[in-house]
């Protein structure tokens, strides 16, 4: 599917969620296509947050309901303070769906893909031993 209701957000996946990873990686490597879509949706959908995520997707949420909001809620519910968290994501740049984590002051690590995420997490675990 190209349009999914994920409960807290609507996600548009240009090639569909089941598209091969290789196809996703080459579709919009410089974010140029999604920046155009993002700009258009921002004018058409005032009062909503429009952010890029993954390799081909656009996430649409209520304004202010983003990863920063979710991380603050996680901190409240868990008692684990934001300043003790490390956020790992692939879209930690202005307009990216992971950028709100940086905006609320979390330490962040930007990764390219699931394999790099695994490498980062493995390195963190190795340092804790």
What is the DSSP code (8-state) at residue 105?
T
**Which residue has 């980062």 as its token pair?**
120
Q: Looking at the chain, how many residues does it have? A: 129
Residue 112 pLDDT: 87
Q: Report how far apart, in Å, the C-alpha atoms of 125 and of each of 28, 62, 83, 108, 122 are.
A: 32, 35, 19, 16, 5
Q: For the chain, which ranges sit under pLDDT 50? A: none
Residue 55 pLDDT: 86
Pairing of strands 57-62, 48-53: antiparallel
- Please say whether the dihedral angle defined by the alpha carbons of residues 95, 101, 106 and 111, taken in this order, is positive or negative: negative
Residue 10 pLDDT: 94
Q: Which domains, from first to last, does the chain contain? A: 1-64 (3.30.1240.20), 66-129 (3.40.50.1000)
Residue 73 pLDDT: 96
Which H or E element spans position 115? Answer: helix 114-128
């Amino acid at each position: 599917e190209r349009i999914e209701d994920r409960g807290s957000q609507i996600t548009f996946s240009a090639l569909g969620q089941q598209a091969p990873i290789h196809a996703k990686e080459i579709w919009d490597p410089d974010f140029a296509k999604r920046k155009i879509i993002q700009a258009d949706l921002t004018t058409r959908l005032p009062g909503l947050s429009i952010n890029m995520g993954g390799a081909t997707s656009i996430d649409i949420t209520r304004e202010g309901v983003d990863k920063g909001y979710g991380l603050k809620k996680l901190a409240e519910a868990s008692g684990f303070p934001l300043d003790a968290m490390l956020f790992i994501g692939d879209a930690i740049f202005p307009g990216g769906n992971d950028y709100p984590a940086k905006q609320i002051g979390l330490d962040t690590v930007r990764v390219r893909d699931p394999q790099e995420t695994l490498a980062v997490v493995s390195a963190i675990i190795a340092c804790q031993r």
